[in-house]
């Protein structure tokens, strides 16, 4: 199972406390290969990730592609949700991003 935090840099501050640098997620452009779905009652980002990617930890790809804010896991039935299909290039772009 992929871990979306594996690219997060960890450093220590002057007191020795671990500090996690923020992960910079790539922009996810619209592609012809994207799937557009309408979620059903009770569907969540992680269930869509499990269905379409076989990995619940990739929910952030769907969130980023749809500009969903932090803390949004539950979806509204009837809204259109874009499911990017080219997750290999998205993960490659994640690894290539610089950290601040």
pLDDT 10s digits, 27-59 = 899 999 999 999 999 999 999 999 999 999 899
For residue 99, pLDDT over 50 is answered with: no
Share of the chain above pLDDT 70, in %: 83
For residue 92, pLDDT over 90 is answered with: no
Please indicate, yes or no, if residue 52 is contained in any of the structural domains. yes
Please indicate, yes or no, if residue 64 is contained in any of the structural domains. yes
Instruction: Please give the tally of structural domains in the chain.
Output: 1
Please indicate, yes or no, if residue 1 is contained in any of the structural domains. no
Please indicate, yes or no, if residue 5 is contained in any of the structural domains. no
Residues 73, 76, 82: CA angle, nearest 5 degrees: 75
For residue 82, pLDDT over 70 is answered with: yes
Assess contact for 77 and 37: CB atoms under 8 A: no
73 CA to centre of own chain? 11
Q: How many residues appear in the chain? A: 100
Assess contact for 35 and 49: CB atoms under 8 A: no
> What three-state secondary structure class fits 46?
helix
For residue 2, pLDDT over 80 is answered with: no
For residue 13, pLDDT over 50 is answered with: yes
In the prediction, which pLDDT does 95 show?
60
Please indicate, yes or no, if residue 2 is contained in any of the structural domains. no
Please indicate, yes or no, if residue 3 is contained in any of the structural domains. no
The closest alpha carbon to 6, from 55, 75, 40, belongs to 55
For residue 83, pLDDT over 80 is answered with: yes
Of the pLDDT bands very low, low, confident and very high (cuts 50, 70, 90), residue 72 is confident
Those residues whose C-beta lies under 8 Å from the C-beta of residue 92, and which sit 6 or more positions away, are none
């Amino acid at each position: 199972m992929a871990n979306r935090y594996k690219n997060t840099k960890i450093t220590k501050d002057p007191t020795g406390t671990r500090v996690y640098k923020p992960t910079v997620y790539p922009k996810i452009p619209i592609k012809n290969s994207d799937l557009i779905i309408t979620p059903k009652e009770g569907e969540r980002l992680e269930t869509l990730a499990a269905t379409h990617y076989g990995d619940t930890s990739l929910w952030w790809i769907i969130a980023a592609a749809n500009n969903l804010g932090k803390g949004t896991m539950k979806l509204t039935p009837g809204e259109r949700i874009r499911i990017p299909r080219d997750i290999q290039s998205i993960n490659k772009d994640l690894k290539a991003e610089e950290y601040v």
